[in-house]
Amino acid sequence: MAPPIKVDIVIRAKAVHSLQQSAPAYRSLAVHGGRIWALSDDLHCLDDCIGPDTRVIDEPDQTVLPAFDDTHTHMIFAGLSQFDVPVHLATCIDELVDLLCERAAHTEPGSWITTTANWQEYNLKERRFPTAEELDRASTAHPIVLRRGGHNVIVNSLALQLGGITVDTQSPPGGKIGRAADGSLNGQLQDQGMVPVLRLMPQPNFDDRIRGLESASAAYAAVGIGCVRDCAVPIADVPILMATRDSGKLHVRTRALISSIGLMSASAVASLLNQMEQYRHLQHDDWLSIWGVKFFLDGGIEAGATKEPYEGRPDEGCCGFTDFRGILIWDPDEILEAMDAVLRRGWRIGTHAYGDRAVEILLDVYGRLQQRHPHLAAGTLVMEHGGLADPGAQARTVDMGIPVTIQQPLLHDVAAIQSLYFGKDRTARLFPARGWL
């Protein structure tokens, strides 16, 4: 009889849960080659698997659970923000400007200054976005990009100038260029309106990007997240993910959705798909895989496409919107052809749909795709968020076999400001998790 294999790790604990309904709580677990090798309901039953190089973890008072799988997150941007100005620490606009001033004092003139995105203007004393004029107080010698979430930036005058945005520039389809009451530019750019500035921004150097991603992925792992679905990875950032993995510094399994943000036509998406071919082998990588393509059908907090008008807009006095119902970024027929090209290349699709009007349009588009491709594997078409989906839309989604990643924690961050746009009642039913279940 062959001697028992010597494994890499043995864990002894108060309870080891597999989360299989009929399975008991185990007491010991063996790991070998990155896989669970054995489980036992006896604390010492796996001791024969312990060799001189085995790591033994004795935690008699602890419980072991499978790692969490975060199905909608933005880890690549969390890594990037490691080097950004931490404006989420500010409680008012003056503090925010002071943080930018401090960075400007140590930054070569002409170099870009960017900020973290995980803040809400509603948490500032003024309860509003800063303006370009206020950012100019920090510096007029540096282009400044104040990120807020993934759908908004506020920039200073130099960044507007470099992006070619003037008082005569009109808001593009699927985006907004913000204006003050007198019609002047206030520095706010939304969705497609961000593109002229964002495409100019340089990235941190390669080694810094790896360090940032190492830090961000370690933070995910530290709270029990073992796998992420990174839902808007720029194609240019795939080498960063690969290098981080190859150096052993990518601490969670990662499935990347390649971002199509800024693309507005089927031909532009076809060009992106051509670039993705070089990473085709990552479809089968156990630690880092390319999941598919991420589309954005509508805006977010301030611009999700809704059936009913917004109840209020804190910026409506300066932007000229009446009866505002959000922004559709894509024409439905155009996005259909773009998505069809993705499916014909063998990739999956995840689509941001934040408002109920966008949800129904997306279901129409997905239905047409299913007619063209009647044998799609389960999970090929995914709805991201599914905001404000009513019972009819939920039932239709389930009948079509479309998974939904609600991103429920988002509501905890944005509920206060979302209610300014949607109203409290509509915000309360933004992500109806129980209805989906």
The answer to whether residues 43 and 15 touch, using CB atoms and an 8 Å cutoff, is: no
Q: Indicate whether 41 and 114 sit together in one domain.
A: no
Residue 114 included in any domain? yes
The separation between CA 39 and the C-alpha centre of its own chain, rounded to angstroms, equals 35
Q: Going by C-beta distance under 8 Å and a sequence separation of 6 or more, which residues neighbour residue 248?
A: none
Q: Indicate whether 428 and 290 sit together in one domain.
A: yes
pLDDT tens digits, the chain, 437 residues: what are they? Answer: 566 789 999 999 999 999 888 888 999 999 999 899 999 999 999 999 999 999 999 999 999 999 999 999 999 999 988 889 999 999 999 999 999 999 999 999 999 999 998 888 888 999 899 999 999 999 999 999 999 988 899 999 999 999 999 999 999 988 899 999 999 999 999 999 999 999 999 878 899 999 999 999 999 999 999 999 999 999 999 999 999 999 999 999 999 999 999 898 999 999 999 999 999 999 888 899 999 999 999 999 889 999 999 997 655 433 445 689 999 999 999 999 999 999 999 999 999 999 999 999 999 999 999 999 999 999 999 999 999 999 999 999 999 999 999 987 777 778 888 888 899 999 999 998 888 88
Residue 4 included in any domain? no
Final residue before a domain boundary, out of 157, 181, 198: 198
Residue 269 included in any domain? yes
Q: Indicate whether 236 and 365 sit together in one domain.
A: yes
Q: Indicate whether 292 and 395 sit together in one domain.
A: yes
Q: Indicate whether 348 and 216 sit together in one domain.
A: yes
Residue 354 included in any domain? yes
Which helix (H) or strand (E) segment holds residue 191: the answer is strand 185-191
d(CA 192, CA 328): 10
Final residue before a domain boundary, out of 160, 177, 198: 198
d(CA 368, CA 374): 10
Burial class (CB in 10 A: 0-12, 13-18, 19+), 320: exposed
The answer to whether residues 318 and 181 touch, using CB atoms and an 8 Å cutoff, is: yes
Q: Indicate whether 14 and 31 sit together in one domain.
A: yes
The answer to whether residues 153 and 194 touch, using CB atoms and an 8 Å cutoff, is: yes
> Is the Cα torsion angle 333, 336, 340, 342 positive or negative in sign?
positive
Residue 268 included in any domain? yes
Q: Indicate whether 307 and 255 sit together in one domain.
A: yes
**Do the bridges between strand 9-16 and strand 55-64 make them parallel or antiparallel, or are there none, so unpaired?**
parallel
Q: CB neighbours (10 Å) of residue 224?
A: 10
Q: CB neighbours (10 Å) of residue 34?
A: 10
The answer to whether residues 235 and 56 touch, using CB atoms and an 8 Å cutoff, is: no
The separation between CA 72 and the C-alpha centre of its own chain, rounded to angstroms, equals 6
The answer to whether residues 88 and 82 touch, using CB atoms and an 8 Å cutoff, is: no
d(CA 333, CA 247): 43
Q: Going by C-beta distance under 8 Å and a sequence separation of 6 or more, which residues neighbour residue 362?
A: 297, 351, 353, 383
- Domain at 211, CATH number: 3.20.20.140
Find, among 9, 5, 1, the residue nearest to 29 by Cα: 9
Residue 1 included in any domain? no
Residue 426 included in any domain? yes
User: Partners of 59 in the beta sheet?
Assistant: 13
Domain that holds residue 24: 9-66
pTM as predicted: 0.82
Q: Indicate whether 231 and 297 sit together in one domain.
A: yes
Q: Indicate whether 291 and 160 sit together in one domain.
A: no
- Domain at 85, CATH number: 3.10.310.70
Which helix (H) or strand (E) segment holds residue 20: the answer is none
Q: Indicate whether 185 and 215 sit together in one domain.
A: no
Instruction: Work out how many domains the chain is built from and give that number.
Output: 3
Which helix (H) or strand (E) segment holds residue 362: the answer is helix 356-372
pLDDT of residue 317: 39
Residue 222 included in any domain? yes
Final residue before a domain boundary, out of 50, 66, 82: 66
**Do the bridges between strand 225-233 and strand 253-259 make them parallel or antiparallel, or are there none, so unpaired?**
parallel
The separation between CA 338 and the C-alpha centre of its own chain, rounded to angstroms, equals 21
pLDDT of residue 322: 61
DSSP 88: G
Which helix (H) or strand (E) segment holds residue 60: the answer is strand 55-64
Q: Indicate whether 182 and 164 sit together in one domain.
A: yes
User: Partners of 350 in the beta sheet?
Assistant: 294, 382
pLDDT of residue 1: 53
Q: Indicate whether 268 and 228 sit together in one domain.
A: yes
What's the Rg (C-alpha) of the chain? Answer: 24
